[in-house]
Amino acid sequence: MTSDCILSIIVPVKDEEQAVAPFVERVSEVLKDIPELARGHYEILFVDDGSDDATLDAIRQAHAGDRHVRAVSFSRNFGKEAALTAGLEHARGQAVVPMDVDLQDPPEVLPQMIEKWRAGFEIVYGVRSDRASDSLPKRLTADLYYRAHNWLSNDKIPVHAGDFRLLDRKVVDAILRMPERNRFMKGMFAWAGFRQTSVPYSRPARASGSSKFNYWKLWTFALDGITSSSTVPLRVWSYLGGLVALFALAYAIFIAVRTVAFGNDVPGYASLMVSVLFLGGLQLLSLGVLGEYVGRILTETKARPLYIIREQIGEDD
Ligand code: UDP
Ligand code: MG
């Protein structure tokens, strides 16, 4: 199974004890029906992202029953993007597919992905044909985010494609050569290029447990996405500053002319207050944006490892 592994399924898990066994069962069922994988040329690689419950025991049990199951386990919670990176680093397959353990990425799509891969595509991403399983606010904010991202960034990310996608070994190796600490995977795939295609699927509701992403986490994730793929938010302040300065100049000329023509009648306090507050607000905002980028430069220069592994399961099978 080491070098002749064709397909690696990588599965980040955080507190998902009830989800592990059903996942392995459903996925194995699908994979066994794919002729070239039938002889066992696949692996299911869990990345335990610092779970506090019995997730690791569930994985150990699954490994005892099925040697295709392997795992790396983190020393604490490092986040899904770090877990995905660990998965890519430890996967042995010629093709790699990240999947959520909650069965929201239907395994039944895998045969179609493999077919497209065999036809020569290097990235086959799953696109949600409907997001009926997501709440309305989540759908709206997701939509808004994709628009904002693709407007601001040169690396256009495919709309409504999650992390569920098949990656050829070439793509995996390219991703692993990217040294950045802020790992916004969707943007990295977009930047890497390669021959891409998509397969549609409808996203079911979570099989068990509850989502690990609240709105604050998603907002932070969105900020990471934009700041790691675009410098437009930095540049926009030069233009805005230029515009305000131009306006101020015109206003100064207007006041000068008016004073010469009509004398000085001590003009209003309101306009003064408004412009002071407005400019103060703009300056704080632009400082904040600068701070976002500086903070990220700090994490990049510290160059800490992306994750720490406490233990591995099945590494020498
Ligand atoms: N996950 C993870 N680390 C985290 C949060 C989530 O590895 O810090 C995993 C989680 O166990 C699941 C996947 O990422 O397998 C997707 O999480 P979830 O289903 O909660 O996200 P949603 O589908 O709501 O976007
Ligand atoms: Mg989910």
**Is residue 224, in this structure, part of any structural domain at all?**
no
Find out whether 208 and 19 touch, Cβ atoms under 8 Å: yes
DSSP string, 142-202: HHHHHHHHHHH-SSPPPTTEEEEEEEEHHHHHHHHT---SS--HHHHHHHH---EEEEEEE
Q: Which of 6-10, 224-228, 306-310 has the lowest mean pLDDT?
A: 224-228
Do 69 and 194 lie in one domain? The reply is: yes
**Is residue 295, in this structure, part of any structural domain at all?**
yes
Q: In terms of residue numbers, what domain contains 52?
A: 7-212+309-313
**Is residue 128, in this structure, part of any structural domain at all?**
yes
Q: Which atom of ligand 1 is nearest to the CA of 210?
A: 20
Ligand 1 pocket test: pick from 26, 47, 97, 100 the residue with the most ligand atoms within 8 Å of its Cβ: 100
Give the number of the ligand closest to the Cα of residue 9.
Answer: 1
Do 109 and 187 lie in one domain? The reply is: yes
Q: Which two tokens stand for residue 76?
A: 């604490």
Say whether 2 sits in a helix, a strand or coil.
coil
Do 189 and 293 lie in one domain? The reply is: no
Nearest CA to ligand 1 atom 10: 13
Nearest CA to ligand 1 atom 3: 80
Nearest CA to ligand 1 atom 17: 212
Do 62 and 202 lie in one domain? The reply is: yes
Do 13 and 146 lie in one domain? The reply is: yes
List, in order, residues 6 or more apart from 307 with CB less than 8 Å away. Answer: 74, 78, 82, 83, 85, 86
Mean pLDDT estimate for the chain = 86
Do 242 and 103 lie in one domain? The reply is: no
- Kindly report the CATH number assigned to the domain that includes residue 26: 3.90.550.10
Q: What total number of domains does the chain contain?
A: 2
Nearest CA to ligand 1 atom 16: 100
Do 86 and 130 lie in one domain? The reply is: yes
pLDDT more than 90, % of the chain:
32
* Cα-to-centroid distance, 185 and ligand 1 (Å): 14
What is the C-alpha separation between 37 and 110, in angstroms, rounded?
Answer: 12
Q: Which atom of ligand 1 is nearest to the CA of 100?
A: 15
- This prediction has a pTM of 0.77
**Is residue 219, in this structure, part of any structural domain at all?**
no
φ, ψ at 141 (rounded to 5°):
-70, -35
Do 61 and 200 lie in one domain? The reply is: yes
- Write the pLDDT tens digit of every residue in 122-135: 999 888 877 677 77
**pLDDT over 70 at 179, yes or no:** yes
* Cα-to-centroid distance, 81 and ligand 1 (Å): 10
Do 98 and 163 lie in one domain? The reply is: yes
* Cα-to-centroid distance, 80 and ligand 1 (Å): 6
**pLDDT over 70 at 10, yes or no:** yes
Nearest CA to ligand 1 atom 19: 211
Do 75 and 16 lie in one domain? The reply is: yes
Q: Which atom of ligand 1 is nearest to the CA of 211?
A: 20
Do 203 and 82 lie in one domain? The reply is: yes
**pLDDT over 80 at 15, yes or no:** yes
Q: Which residues line ligand 1 (CB under 6 A)?
A: 12-14, 16, 49, 77, 79-80, 83, 100-102, 104, 211-213
- Write the pLDDT tens digit of every residue in 201-223: 887 777 777 777 777 888 888 88
Band of the pLDDT at 267, cuts 50, 70, 90?
low
Do 69 and 144 lie in one domain? The reply is: yes
**Is residue 218, in this structure, part of any structural domain at all?**
no
Position 69 scores a pLDDT of 93
